Amino acid sequence: MADSLQGKAAIVTGGGRGIGRGIAHVFAEEGASVLVVNRSVDAGQTVVEEITAKGGTAALFQGDVKSKADMEGMAAACLENFGAIDILCMNAGIFPAALIADMSEEIWDEVLDTNLKGLFFGAQACIPHMKEQKSGRILVVSSITGPNVGWPGLSHYMASKGGADAFIRGASLEMAKYGVTVNGVAPGTIMTDGLRELGGDALEEVRQIIPMGYIGEPEDIAYALLYFASEQARYVTGQILIVDGGQILPESPTALADA
């Protein structure tokens, strides 16, 4: 086990599977005590057990990022379990596809409330503690989908992630004088359960336009976040790092043919 986060207390929302599970493992391997936040208890508890079986420290908080009360409970649980909130990593997100013409108001609200309003509730719950301790790291898992590229059927998701990037910059301005940095990682296509549920053909098509030739793993995102979480990144704030194997670079689907 390395120790770049030794003694730190970290919250990871959506830590029960996918990218969040990868973040929880990597942060714990680096010495952080990790509060895994998830709606489903079984998935979250499994990650907690995986981490503790490897000698790490983790606890579960069952909560929904759409709920202000749950986010306040999450902050309280982290303080109760680990005595501090050094890192808040807001990863929980959903991406149900729906064309604008067919989209219900409920789906629009569900996506915006989870992916964007959840950032507000999560940050608001943890900021008082970080201000008081005059240090902290707020991390957001954004996306290339919205800020950089897009899919028909994901306009709600794209709006939420564009909003997430703007939130990162706004929050970074408010928190800088307290020694708290706010940064994000924008994943390209990462192999997770959520993505597998979208279906196989689309995944193969995407793989073909990724210059590095393969779909990323949750740990690829976790290691980028680890940099932002580290002491070494103390002077970096308001930034969003794209981690996508070069996915947004080709100008056309055939651009890689001669490479």
Give residues in contact with ligand NDP (CB under 6 A): 13-14, 16-20, 38-40, 43, 64-66, 91-95, 114, 141, 143, 187, 189-190, 192-195
- Nearer residue to ligand NDP within complex by CB, 9 or 90: 90
In angstroms, the Cα distances linking 90 to 24, 65, 166, 247, 252 are 11, 9, 15, 23, 33
C-beta closer to ligand NDP: residue 26 or 141:
141
**CA angle in degrees (0–180, nearest 5) for 204-210-214:** 65
- Kindly state the smallest distance separating residue 164's Cβ from ligand NDP, in Å: 8
29 vs 64 by CB, closer to ligand NDP: 64
d(CA 38, CA 16): 6
Phi, psi of 90 (to 5 degrees): -100, 100
Paired strand residues for 36: 12, 60
Do 203 and 209 form a contact (C-beta atoms < 8 A)? no
Q: How far is the CB of 178 from ligand NDP (least distance, A)?
A: 25
Shortest Å, Cβ 145 to ligand NDP: 6
Secondary structure tally for the chain: helices H, strands E: 9, 7
> Is 136:130 a contact under the CB 8 Å cutoff?
yes
Catalytic hit among 157, 178, 227, 235: 157
Smallest distance, Å, CB 74 to ligand NDP?
9
| Cβ proximity to ligand NDP, 64 vs 165, nearer residue | 64
Give the nearest distance from C-beta 18 to ligand NDP in angstroms. Answer: 2
Residue 157 annotated in active site:
yes
Give the integer Cα–Cα distance in Å for 136 and 71.
Answer: 17
**81-95 core/surface letters (b: 16 or more CB in 10 A; e: else):** bbebbbbbbbbbbbb
Instruction: Cite the active site residues.
Output: 157
